[in-house]
């Protein structure tokens, strides 16, 4: 079959629906769809490929960066984790997203419940893993978000760590927000 | 609520309403009708189609509530009670033509949601001409945003073939015969997304912002497809075979090397059948014969059953 689409939003949706990657490129918008619900659906379906471990080659830093501004913590935190991994895998680092600091700040916000704060440690692990590769600008932006609101001792690691990994929460998010509403 | 209880309620309310013992704004009655159909809709299927008596009762109550004239209300009530077996109200789509003039505009979304459920029910009953008459009256003003918004409001309570069929009708080209759209909706199966995307893209052109509700429906429909089915629907993207390669599963397309395929830059996104992918496909995609998966048999004998 041939599917030729003229509209750039339709092309984006077609790729997301087809579970195809959306690699970086100059034509890629740094923002997503104006409708909050569609934005979240695009993010959820795109990030699902990551949480299901289908993505082995990270090429979508622009797309992941656009999810950082999501109001859904589970989306922004999962996007942040893979955004960091993607950036670390690049030899030529782009400038950090303008939403990076806010997303880090949200992930470590001390008003979050313990189990969500623990998700932040996974992000922190990715940051530490790639610390040497990151530029000063990246480290500074991350630190700005990390220290702004993280003034409360972070929870101690427990045996349930694996169950509280972002991808578990993300599946839960998808299930609660999408699956149960469409049958 | 059981169907019998719904029927009892729907038969009692018009009676109380017609003799003035109950009053209320249009939205109150429409909400009752919506709640009853939304409660029943998840159970509709080929083996257990919607109860036509229930549909008639819903249309009767909704029509009465939307009619400002008491004589009209009594007429609607009488046609339902004097010859209930004739189903005069549900079989008369012209009854709804005045609804949108007689009710404030902020009720219209609710009304359209209700009527989309009626269309969905008529489709299950294979009453295609009647469903199309309803559809044409509802969509006479051509306000796609209103219609798609009304559709997504009820979509969670419908089986996924409901929103997909109505969405296909909404974005169908002017020249397309709606009868064939609704008739073929049983055969669309996995290709519904492709048709939705193509038809809506043709409507939009290259620069217009799409309606978020239509996009939401397309994205949600993709949730029902497994990776294998997705492959059978979309084929693969082979705009740039030099940079395209299949992952180990053979189902997902990755890019590698220097040249990215950029969907926003390319003038067209071409999705082709796997046998057209040459050169860049490290692993040939599997041959997947799913195109006939959802080809439900049509039963012409039951056509226009109601």
| Residue A100 at interface with chain B, using a CB cutoff of 8 Å | no
A136 touches chain B (CB under 8 A): no
* Alpha-carbon gap, residue B64 to B77, rounded angstroms: 7
3-state secondary structure B221-248: HHCCCCHHHHHHHHCEECCCCCCEEECC
Choose between A150 and B294: higher pLDDT: A150
Lowest-pLDDT choice from A18-32, A70-84, B232-246 = B232-246
Q: Does B282 touch chain A (CB under 8 A)?
A: no
- Complex-level ipTM: 0.76
Q: What is the pLDDT of residue A122?
A: 82
Shortest Cα distance, chain A CAs vs residue B222, angstroms? 5
Query: What is the predicted pLDDT for the residue at B201?
Result: 93
Domain ranges in chain A?
Answer: 8-181
Beta strands in chain B (DSSP E): 236-237, 244-246, 253-255, 271-272
What local confidence, expressed as pLDDT, does residue B276 receive? 31
Determine the number of helices (DSSP H) and then strands (DSSP E) in chain A: 8, 0
- Is A41 in Cβ contact with B219 (below 8 Å)? yes
Residue A7 has its nearest CB partner, among B205, B220, B260, at B205
What's the gap in Å between the CA of A31 and the closest CA on chain B?
A: 13
Q: Would you say residue A35 has pLDDT above 90?
A: no
Lowest mean pLDDT among A16-30, A165-179, B227-241: B227-241
Compute the distance between CA of residue A59 and CA of residue A24 in angstroms, rounded to an integer.
Answer: 6
Confidence at residue B273, expressed as pLDDT on a 0 to 100 scale: 31
User: Residues A79-132: pLDDT tens digits?
Assistant: 999 999 999 999 888 899 999 999 998 888 877 777 777 778 888 888 999 999
Q: Please, which pLDDT band fits residue A169 given cuts at 50, 70 and 90? A: low
Give residue A70's pLDDT band: very low, low, confident or very high (50, 70, 90): confident
Does residue A13 belong to the interface with chain B, where contact is any CB pair within 8 Å?
A: yes
Question: What phi and psi values does residue B169 have, to the nearest 5 degrees?
Answer: -65, -35
Structure tokens at B4: 């019998």
In sequence order, the β-bridge partners of residue B245 are B254
Chain A CB contacts of B153 under 8 Å are none
Q: Which 139-158 residues of chain A touch chain B by CB within 8 A? A: none
Q: Test A182 with B215 for CB contact under 8 angstroms.
A: no
> CA of B287: how far to CAs of A45, A154, B222, B231, B273, in Å?
25, 51, 20, 10, 10
Q: How far apart are CA A58 and CA A114, in angstroms?
A: 30
Q: How far apart are CA B244 and CA B272, in angstroms?
A: 13
Q: Where are the domains of chain B?
A: 3-159, 228-276
The pTM for the full model equals: 0.73
Chain B contact set for A5 (CB, 8 A)? 197-198, 201, 268-269
pLDDT exceeds 70 at position A147: yes
Do the beta carbons of residue B296 and residue B116 sit within 8 Å?
no
- Of A61, A68, A60, the closest CA to residue A103 belongs to A68
Question: Which whole number is the average pLDDT over A45-58?
Answer: 85
* B102 neighbors B108 (Cβ within 8 angstroms): no
Q: Looking at chain B, which residue has its C-alpha nearest residue A33?
A: B212
Q: Which residues of A19-47 are buried (b: 16+ CB within 10 A; e: fewer)?
A: bbbbbbbeebeeebbebeebbbbbbbbbb
**Does the pLDDT value for residue A12 go beyond 50?**
yes
A42 touches chain B (CB under 8 A): yes
- What is the structure's pLDDT at B65? 83
Mean per-residue pLDDT over chain A, rounded: 77
Higher pLDDT, B81 or A163: B81
Put simply, the answer to whether A18 touches B256 (Cβ < 8 Å) is no
Each residue's pLDDT expressed in tens, for chain B with a length of 306 residues: 777 888 888 888 877 777 666 666 667 888 999 999 999 998 898 888 999 999 999 999 888 888 777 788 788 888 888 888 888 888 988 888 877 877 788 889 999 999 999 999 999 999 999 999 999 999 998 999 999 999 999 988 888 888 989 999 999 988 888 888 888 887 766 677 888 899 999 988 777 888 999 998 888 887 766 555 555 555 543 333 222 222 222 222 223 333 223 233 233 333 333 333 333 333 333 322 222 223 233 333 333 433
Chain A residues in contact with B237 (beta carbon < 8 A): 15, 18, 20
**pLDDT above 80 for A62:** yes
Q: Is residue A29 very low, low, confident or very high in pLDDT (cuts 50, 70, 90)?
A: low
pLDDT, residue A149, reads 56
Q: How far is CA A71 from the centre of its chain?
A: 12
Question: Which residues in chain B are contacts of A58 at CB distance < 8 A?
Answer: none
């Amino acid at each position: 079959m041939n599917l030729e689409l003229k509209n750039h939003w339709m092309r984006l949706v077609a790729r997301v629906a087809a579970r195809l990657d959306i690699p970086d490129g100059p034509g890629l918008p740094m923002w997503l769809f104006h409708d909050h619900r569609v934005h979240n659906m695009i993010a959820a379906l795109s990030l699902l490929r990551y949480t299901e471990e289908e993505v082995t080659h990270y090429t979508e830093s622009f797309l992941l960066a656009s999810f950082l501004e999501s109001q859904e913590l589970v989306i922004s935190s999962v996007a942040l984790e893979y955004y960091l991994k993607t950036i670390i895998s690049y030899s030529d680092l782009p400038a950090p997203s303008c939403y990076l600091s806010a997303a880090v700040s949200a992930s470590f916000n001390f008003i979050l419940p313990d189990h969500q704060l623990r998700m932040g440690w996974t992000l922190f692990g990715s940051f530490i893993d790639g610390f040497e590769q990151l530029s000063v600008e990246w480290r500074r932006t991350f630190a700005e978000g990390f220290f702004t609101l993280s003034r409360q001792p972070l929870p101690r690691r427990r045996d349930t760590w694996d169950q509280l990994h972002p991808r578990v929460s993300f599946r839960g998010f998808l299930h609660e927000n999408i699956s149960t509403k469409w049958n | 609520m059981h169907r019998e209880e719904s029927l009892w309620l729907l038969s009692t309310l018009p009676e109380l309403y017609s003799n003035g013992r109950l009053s209320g704004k249009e939205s109150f009655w429409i909400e009752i009708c919506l709640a009853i159909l939304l409660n029943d809709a998840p159970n509709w299927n080929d083996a257990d189609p919607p109860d036509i008596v229930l549909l008639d009762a819903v249309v009767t109550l909704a029509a009465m509530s939307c009619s400002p004239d008491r004589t009209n209300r009594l007429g609607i009530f009488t046609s339902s009670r004097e010859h209930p077996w004739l189903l005069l109200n549900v079989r008369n789509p012209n009854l709804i033509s005045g609804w949108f003039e007689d009710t404030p505009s902020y009720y219209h979304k609710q009304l359209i949601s209700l009527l989309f459920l009626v269309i969905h029910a008529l489709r299950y009953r294979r009453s295609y001409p009647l469903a199309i008459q309803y559809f044409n009256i509802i969509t006479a003003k051509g306000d796609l945003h209103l219609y798609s918004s009304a559709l997504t409001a009820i979509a969670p309570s419908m089986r996924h073939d409901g929103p997909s069929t109505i969405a296909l009708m909404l974005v169908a080209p002017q020249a397309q015969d709606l009868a064939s759209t609704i008739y073929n909706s049983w055969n669309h199966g996995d290709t519904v997304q492709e048709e939705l995307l193509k038809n809506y893209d043709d409507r939009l052109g290259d620069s217009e912002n799409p309606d978020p509700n239509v996009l939401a429906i397309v994205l949600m429909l993709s949730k029902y497809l497994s990776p294998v089915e997705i492959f059978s629907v979309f084929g693969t993207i082979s705009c740039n075979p030099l940079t395209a390669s299949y992952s180990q599963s053979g189902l997902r397309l990755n890019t590698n090397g220097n040249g990215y395929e950029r969907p926003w830059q390319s003038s067209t996104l071409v999705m082709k059948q796997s046998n057209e992918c040459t050169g860049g496909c490290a692993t040939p995609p599997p041959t997947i014969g799913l195109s006939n998966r959802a080809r439900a048999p049509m039963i012409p004998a039951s056509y226009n059953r109601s």
